[in-house]
Structure 1
Amino acid sequence: MERSAGYLTLLGLLLGLATTLPNKDDWDIYSFHINSTVTSRYATTVITSRVANRMDESKEIEFHVRIPKNAFISKFRMFMDGEVYDGVVKAKEQAVRQYTEAVSRGQSAGIVSSVGRTLEEFKTSVTVAAHKKVTFELTYEELLKRRLGKYELQIHARPMQPVTDFKVDVNINEDAGINFIDIKGGLSTKDLANAITKTETAKQAWIYFYPTVDQQKVCDSCSDNGLNGDLVIFYDVKRDASFGDLVTKDGYFVHHFAPSELPRIPKNVVFVIDQSGSMHGRKMQQTRVALIHILADLAEDDFFGLITFDSEIFHWKRELVQATQKNIDQAKKFAENIQDRGSTDINKAVLEGSRMLNAHPREDSASILILLTDGDPTSGETNPERIQANVRKAIAGKFPLYCLGFGFDVNFEFLEKMSLQNNGLARRIYEDSDANLQLQGFYEEVATPLLTDVTMMYIGGTNLTQTNFSQYYNGSEIVVAGMITDNDIESFVPEVVALSRNSRVTFSNPNATTGTASVDRIQRVWAYLTVKQLMEKELQLSGPEKEKVEKEAMDLSLQYSFVTPLTSMVVTKPPGEDSAVLNKPKEGGSTLPSVPHVGSSGRSHSVASDPGLRHHQYSVSRKAPKLNDDMDMDMDMDGAISMTDMMMPYRPKVLATISSIAATDAPPTQRFLLRPANVSLPLCFDLSATNVKLLHQTSRGLNINGEINPEENGGFRSIVINAQSDLSIEVKTTGVTVKEGQTSTHYSSLTQITAGSVTVIIQDKDIDVSFGDVRLVILGHEISGRKFLWPVFRQLPLDNEAAGVLAANLDYEEKTGAASTIKVKGQAVTVSRSTATDYSVPGPITVDCWLLSVQEAFQRPSSDFYN
């Protein structure tokens, strides 16, 4: 459970958590990228790590990735010596059989998954020949879950060495509109805050984290070993309609329902607290602290009950009482004196809590039962199935049961099944210093019921995900996906019926939108939700029904290449190396299959039965034949640089875009965008030129110029960087040419080039150029089959000597009371409203801007920007 003030586990991508753990003396991680795209709350995150073996002998190189527990890995690939090695998702029994066969042949094979607090960890390795490279690429997907009024994308970075080319790129696209966005976490503090760029429009946001090598050593938990911490992105969408957002496309739909302008429903809540001997010490102390805070947050129209239990039951009051200040103060004193003792009779305690709620029927209210325990039932009725049957009969669907399992000794699957059978959920409370905050945070999620008996109806819909919900809480969200029969949108009628505080309410909206999400994305949301809910259903069943649901979930997982608890990914490797098997564990269960493992002693034992491995990563070393000695790039690009899904700048002072070009001999016209902090809209201006001075820094002999493409949509056909007297670097869509003196070398595939004091990194999506304190990214776009370049500075020179159209650093101010007047260096300039297309973001977007002339924008003649 996270802090109530901050964390919503996308439980929301991150975003994603990624870690590469090398021996930094042997390996060079020269590029590490995390790229997360969120469309309509569905996050797809791609982690790419490029590693070089700089040694004179073969080395085993490892790749670690940590991802949210709710995410499904959907793709894994390795690139070596021009070959691609793909992971293949199979039914778990097939993958385990492959693992067993490898062990029987005396080979070592890795089961590479483990359980953490909010994460799962994937690890694999491959042997890389001397002076060779490998690229790892992993993709995972997750539907972000709204909690306490926000979504969360969390990214953890721990590469264990500073990385020259380190990037985190996040693009959020919400048709409903973005209400707010915030960035927190240890990687947003100190000097690292300067490495974060955030750009927003009404419906999109871009967050870019591009720390320099020096910045990667300065966070609270960072050191000379590089980054070690979290980048956490919180956001929410605008909610103008109570019906929510309904997106349809090509026979599929997704409905996000989260009304907020509703009266709060008073609640009846009973807390059932384990005080058995195993709760001794910090567990008990933290429970007391949390309970006291929770009691203080009860509203006066709430009714509550409080019981503790071990082998016996202890009531504060035998019936529910109103949450008056007097009653709350008395209940706090009771909570302060809870002492651990005895064994654990969960059956008796939960049945007593159910009795208290059943004995207190109240119209226009919502009842909730919350159980906190840290152990298995050890007294009274101890058979889990009989306890579950007793509780299900006592509750009879009238209210939800939430089970909080404290620590790892608890039988979490037992609690999870009991919660799901009674319209609730189970949550693990981790034995950390903030356990009391985890408890408080969970309570906040259910503290404000707004609707009960929610029924989501879709006439003309089929293959629907869950449509009935016992309660809807403020700050949460209900998501339903499905198919539209025969894609007949005219006959598709969605409607929501529920009970509010004083009446039965109906929500309807005939105006569904097609939105910007692709049909593939909507299908994957439907598949993701369906698999999740089928696995919850499977947990509650037995016999043939259980097998049927398992098969349905597994087939869907295989169809969409999801690594779920029912499937595994076989990670293929070069000839001579063993495959590894990636499993997704169930919460609280073993991460490893019960198959023989040959240990270092040569004796076999069951990995899953080894308690020392139950909640930890297991890996083994393996050797591969030495690869050939010919130096080769880790990915072939067919002689051209593919540049799609481009990135935003590190610190964008200037963004640029292209206006239409007339088919004449006149110089092409290019429209640039400036984004001053104190102006409501970007500024835009047109510059007619063929060769443009982008940045000139005379003191260090640095000149960067661009040649405009005269065709429609413009862009740059080439960008030339002249550094020092004898070094020239020319970038085109077909590659990079480096001239040092009389020597000229052309590069057209992934590589890193060091020429003098300039470093050029050619990647599959962009080209990075670094020269001292200057960092330029050259992006690429393709429109109607035509490719062109676009330059954006991530880091401008620290001094004020630089000149050029992309080196502007002026003061702009919107004149108060006159939105059509801008002050530039103190001079008032009249502007008009216009639009421009911004090519410095992934996928061009049209933005509104204040149009002025280039002379007015810079208070200098336009000829100063011609080369």
Structure 2
Amino acid sequence: MLLLVLLACFSPAVLGRLEESQSENDLDLTDLDFGIASRRVPRQVKTILAKETRPLIQELSIKTTIMSRYAFTAVYCAMLNRRSAASEGVFQLQIPANAYVSNFTMIIGGRVYQSEIRPREKKVKPEDGRAKNKESGDPSAEPEMEVFKMAANIPGRNRAVFMLTYEELLQRRLGRYEHVTSLRPLQLVSRLTLDVTIIDHSAITGLEVLLLRNSRGGGAGTSRTSGRPQLPVTTEIKKEKNMCRITFSPNIVQQARIATNGLLGDFVIRYDVQRDMGIGDIQVLNGHFVHYFAPKDLPAVPKNVVFVIDTSASMLGKKIRQTKEALFTILGDLRPGDHFNFISFSNRVKVWQPGRLVPVTPNNVRDAKKFIFMLPTSGGTNINSAIQTGSSLLQDYLSAQDASPNSVSLIIFLTDGQPTVGEVQSVTILGNTRSAVQGKFCIFTIGIGNDVDYRLLERMALDNCGMMRRIPEEADASSMLKGFYDEIGTPLLSDIRINYTKDSVQYVTQHLFTNYFNGSEIVIAGKLTNQSAESLHVQVTASNSDKSIILETDVPLQHREVETENRVKAARAVMAAGARPPGSALAKEFGVVLGSILEDFVERLWGFLSVKEGLRSRLRSQTSREREDHIQQATNLSLTYNFLTPLTNMVVEKPSVLADGTTAPPTNEAISTGNEVLSEPVDPAGPGGRPPTLSNTVGGDEKRPVKKSVTISKTSADGDPHFVVEFPLSKLTVCFNINGEPGHVLRLVSDHKASGVTVNGKLIGAPPPPGSHKHQRTYFSTITVVVDHPKRVYIEVTPKKVILDGRDRIVLPCHSTVTVDSGVLSVSIVAGTNVTVSVGGNISFVILLHQYKNPAPYQRDHLGFYIGQSKGLSHDCHGLLGQFLYEEVGLAQLPVGGEAKPGTVLKVKGRSVPVVQKSRRIYGGAQSVDCWFARNNAAKLIDGQYGDYLRSHMFDTSEWTHGSNGA
């Protein structure tokens, strides 16, 4: 599904690097914990001074499609090295910390260098004594932006293209979604374009485009129109009910008015969607669902809040001043019915109102402001005692009869440092906190500056149903603290439980929530066990201020899927209409692939949420075994969806540049690994020749053949795609082509009623090679084998991974050699070569992995499908290949008058099909086979028409209902 999953075949591999936008040192992807460091002013100055010799950015195009709050962003950057000598080009882009990079590709010297996501190796303890960096799964625990950076040598007088995609789920805060695009190319760009398309199932409301944030050029780059809000210069907005498109394309002069150094700032879009009271919005696509729940017009639940404020010496000055300002404002926002107290801590702990929480009254608010105003700063940081004191206050209050039974209780804890007084061991502090809280209230933690133990604060919040926020050293702590309180200051529901029809869903993300706060949103995703089901029963239970709430309904799945598919089609149409840059086949293909990813956005959203959940669960783990289980699960999902996460690395081979400034030639031509499937050389026999034997391998790096082997026939679908059908009884081999469209799903084998086996293949597009008569080429990018008896299980194969969904869901990388038996289904992978899928003991399929090193632009990694054993398939088997398994055919000569040669026809199922002799290469090019070729998309050879073999999705198991062609 991802663009050009290609690897270069020479020079050492280098790792893409992510770094915080405020860090001084670059961080390699082998160390993706993103710790805190000082500002990067020296690096920016150095870059500006060197800009005259660095490659020129000719074009920077950023295209984002936000599909139901899930955002896909594709970045296209073209650089030109104007010097005669090779020069280093640096691609650098700030991306939201909550996002995951899903693809990176370089095109240098006409060659493609495709990144690969691999599992992250276990880290060894740093020798320099540095503290371990954060390994967060919580977006609130990370800085708002990170920097993706890749450097590569560009040959003299040559051009390089960098293409990056990343994905994120927009979070609703304070009643709106916010999408941020960083525009900081570090130089003026000839063609700079930003295109953001928002498409949603619900009506879009409150759309707002802000002035460029943190722009160093002031307001010179904005336009002012009387009676209309200010927008960044050249910004255009086209809005409809469910869709809007925002474009921003300043020329060089307009960019220079904003910032001459290319640091334009953040382009910020805010919006919300119309929502009604009920169970929320559920969207369905390709066997997965996503549920958005954000009720409105509910009364606020009373809250019991204890503010625990660090007053150690390090808070002196700006930090304590801004903290006090925020607390003054927050006190004014407390509601009648709320109860509160304040605790300050340094070496010692001081409680404003010992032994109680006080109600919100004018006098209590006044006295609290006096207490805050008089807070001094001195001493160290006794975090453990402060948390214990706050927890004791809340526990005593909740144990008394005064507390409202449906109130929400929480601690808001703020510090700028690490524990230095009393208990200083993080593990002990966390254990003490869990014992004190006992699951009765939540802890929300806030860290200010660079010296905070953010890992401790994050663990403390995650263990106790809260969130953590960081406030950068130079930020406005007052506004950020007030903003965080606003997010959690109005609880509307507590003890939320969302349930779905039993046995109708699986792998559902978190569906139990302690609180729901006004202006936020609960998002749940999962997988449907039965895609043909008509409806899904959904029930939401929760508690409000004075009552329990039960909401339930039956969601029409088929209707919702049609609606979602229509939105996806609309998104693809918008993307196609705005394709840039014109004339660039690779860039257009990049957009096409991004569009195809949209077709699986619900599944990818589920994967995104599941990875985040796995990372959070890892931090909450109490045992090493539990932690390893969560790590493995999150790693497998990261590999499945090609996400760059704290558990994975991105590897891309770097082009070698010779002394004369040119790119070194590849050591080998592009080679498909499919030619390695044979355990011994095969004599290129004609029809009826001896088939090769494929040896299964197990274990680690060494490929050791086991005794068992699988004999495969010539019956296959491989290449573009070229179909070959072997008729052993007739001693004939027939071949044909299928000219499909990218995204089409073809039925290859259908034996649903008898053996329960169905095989489908999905096509991916590629441009034709130079001089080809074809408009485009198509290959199989994904193949699924679904078995419905005795229990529904499936295997999904791509060139990069195999997903086995049986007793457990297992994700296996194709670069490893492994065998897994899941009862009815078993899979055996020979690293980078082939995948053998066995059903029972009498059905097997072999899927060749065609992967290219240093590919040409028209080459794509793809799959070849071969039928191994077919004895277990019934005589009623159908599909493009399955319909011929038990047929006999014959040849006949048709005399033609005049000088024309007699024609040959193939007799099959009473039909006459004109054929000609051809030769085809199979088994990854290892063998040549002579065959009789049927033209015109196999017209009359196959039952029905091409369109009859198209399926709606990869897991469709419907039977053949179209009958046969006439004679």
Superposition pairs for residues 71-470 of structure 1, below 5 Å? 71-93=99-121, 117-186=143-212, 189-192=219-222, 193-219=232-258, 222-223=259-260, 225-318=261-354, 319-361=356-398, 362-459=404-501, 460-470=504-514
Please name the residue that 1:484 is paired with: 528
SS in 1 for 2:554: coil
1:24 is displaced (CA, Å) by: 3.8
* Structure 1: distance between partners of 2:663 and 2:367: 77
Report if the CA contact (8 A) 1:24-1:161 is conserved.
no
SS in 2 for 1:291: helix
* Structure 2: distance between partners of 1:392 and 1:488: 45
* Structure 1: distance between partners of 2:196 and 2:456: 38
Question: Identity over aligned residues, as a percent?
Answer: 38
1:629 is displaced (CA, Å) by: 11
SS in 1 for 2:353: coil
SS in 2 for 1:554: helix
* Structure 1: distance between partners of 2:536 and 2:322: 51
Please name the residue that 1:688 is paired with: none
Per-residue CA deviations over 1:84-117 (Å, capped at 9, x if unaligned) read 10111001118x89xx9xxxxxxxxxxxxxx984
Please name the residue that 1:29 is paired with: 57
Per-residue CA deviations over 1:744-791 (Å, capped at 9, x if unaligned) read xxxx9xxxxxxxxxxxxxxx9xxxxxxxxxxxxxxxxxxxxxxxxxxx
Residues 130/493 of structure 1: CA separation in 2 closer, same or farther (3 Å cut): same
* Structure 1: distance between partners of 2:172 and 2:150: 32
1:241 is displaced (CA, Å) by: 3.9
Report if the CA contact (8 A) 2:93-2:182 is conserved.
no
Give 1:195's aligned amino acid: T
* Structure 2: distance between partners of 1:162 and 1:383: 50
Superposition pairs for residues 498-647 of structure 1, below 5 Å? 498-512=542-556, 513-514=560-561, 515=564, 516-517=567-568, 519-541=599-621, 542-575=623-656, 626-627=661-662
1:625 is displaced (CA, Å) by: 6.6
Report if the CA contact (8 A) 1:185-1:229 is conserved.
no
Residues 83/474 of structure 1: CA separation in 2 closer, same or farther (3 Å cut): same
* Structure 1: distance between partners of 2:68 and 2:110: 36
Superposition pairs for residues 751-762 of structure 1, below 5 Å? none
Per-residue CA deviations over 1:296-336 (Å, capped at 9, x if unaligned) read 11112211111111122111112111111111011001001
TM-score, scaled relative to structure 1: 0.61
SS in 2 for 1:432: coil
1:492 is displaced (CA, Å) by: 2.6
* Structure 2: distance between partners of 1:624 and 1:419: 55
Q: Is 2:515 aligned against 1:471?
A: yes
- 5+ unaligned residues in a row in structure 1: which ranges? 1-18, 101-114, 577-622, 631-733, 735-747, 749-763, 765-867
Residues 146/260 of structure 1: CA separation in 2 closer, same or farther (3 Å cut): same
SS in 2 for 1:156: strand
Report if the CA contact (8 A) 1:273-1:308 is conserved.
yes
SS in 2 for 1:43: strand
1:358 is displaced (CA, Å) by: 1.9
* Structure 1: distance between partners of 2:67 and 2:157: 40
Moved more, 476-485 or 359-368: 359-368
SS in 2 for 1:352: helix
Report if the CA contact (8 A) 1:447-1:473 is conserved.
yes
Per-residue CA deviations over 1:135-181 (Å, capped at 9, x if unaligned) read 00011110000000111111121223222211000000001110121
Report if the CA contact (8 A) 1:524-1:560 is conserved.
yes
* Structure 2: distance between partners of 1:161 and 1:538: 41
SS in 1 for 2:245: strand
1:132 is displaced (CA, Å) by: 0.5
- 5+ unaligned residues in a row in structure 2: which ranges? 1-43, 128-140, 223-231, 399-403, 569-597, 666-766, 768-774, 776-856, 858-967
TM-score, scaled relative to structure 2: 0.55
Per-residue CA deviations over 1:537-572 (Å, capped at 9, x if unaligned) read 101213111111101110110111101000010122
Report if the CA contact (8 A) 1:268-1:302 is conserved.
yes
Please name the residue that 1:842 is paired with: none
Residues 424/625 of structure 1: CA separation in 2 closer, same or farther (3 Å cut): farther
Residues 303/625 of structure 1: CA separation in 2 closer, same or farther (3 Å cut): farther
Report if the CA contact (8 A) 2:85-2:660 is conserved.
no
Give 2:409's aligned amino acid: S
* Structure 2: distance between partners of 1:251 and 1:433: 44
Give 1:356's aligned amino acid: L
Report if the CA contact (8 A) 2:54-2:88 is conserved.
no
Give 2:280's aligned amino acid: G
SS in 2 for 1:35: strand
* Structure 2: distance between partners of 1:624 and 1:333: 72
* Structure 1: distance between partners of 2:420 and 2:179: 40
Residues 385/624 of structure 1: CA separation in 2 closer, same or farther (3 Å cut): farther
Please name the residue that 1:726 is paired with: none
Question: How many residues are paired up?
Answer: 551
Residues 327/574 of structure 1: CA separation in 2 closer, same or farther (3 Å cut): same
Moved more, 206-215 or 122-131: 122-131
Report if the CA contact (8 A) 1:448-1:474 is conserved.
yes
Give 2:252's aligned amino acid: V
Residues 625/286 of structure 1: CA separation in 2 closer, same or farther (3 Å cut): farther
Moved more, 133-142 or 376-385: 376-385
1:380 is displaced (CA, Å) by: 2.1
1:284 is displaced (CA, Å) by: 1.4
Per-residue CA deviations over 1:424-474 (Å, capped at 9, x if unaligned) read 111112222411111111000001000000111112211010111110000
SS in 1 for 2:103: strand
Report if the CA contact (8 A) 1:24-1:160 is conserved.
no
Please name the residue that 1:864 is paired with: none
1:382 is displaced (CA, Å) by: 2.2
SS in 2 for 1:36: strand
- Which of the residues 539, 558, 561 maps onto 1:495? 539
* Structure 1: distance between partners of 2:515 and 2:186: 45
Give 1:388's aligned amino acid: L
1:381 is displaced (CA, Å) by: 2.2
Report if the CA contact (8 A) 1:458-1:495 is conserved.
yes
* Structure 2: distance between partners of 1:306 and 1:412: 22
1:26 is displaced (CA, Å) by: 4.0
